[in-house]
Amino acid sequence: MYEQKVRTISFDELLQKFKNNERFVLVDARSGEDYDKSHLPGALSIPVEEIRDYAGRLDKDEEIITYCGGFQCPASTMAAKEFMSLGFKDVLDYKGGIQEWSEKRYPTESS
């Protein structure tokens, strides 16, 4: 079976989307506990194993951007692939994740 390649988005591209107030759904693919400690502004907590249950609440035509802990964390790519397998058309993976975002001193939120 042919598997679609996951497209990525860089820190600068994501930051530009925030600055331009673009519409997108930001998905934190880490555990709920990690999300509660710190997450990117406006992100939804949807751990990889919960995507199938949650997907029905999202518009398949909306842009979805996934992220996780950082470049070494596979969860954001797994989440992006899961969204794509469910028919979401515009999915991007922010590989730098919370680690890169925090290292560049951009604000995070906590629950």
In this predicted model, what pLDDT tens digit does every residue of 30-85 receive, in sequence order? 999 999 999 999 999 999 999 999 999 999 999 999 999 999 999 999 999 999 99
Q: Which domain holds residue 12?
A: 7-103
Answer whether residue 58 is part of any domain.
yes
Tokens at 39, concatenated? 């997450």
pTM of the shown model? 0.95
SS3 content of the chain, % helix, strand, coil (to 5): 40, 15, 45
Output the pLDDT for position 4: 72
Residue 2, pLDDT > 90, answer: no
Cα angle 67, 78, 97; round to 5: 15
DSSP state string for 9-42? --HHHHHHHHHTT---EEEE-S-HHHHHH-B-TT
Residue 55 lies in a domain: yes
- pLDDT score of 29 more than 90: yes
What is the CB neighbour count within 10 angstroms for residue 95?
23
What's the domain count of the chain?
1
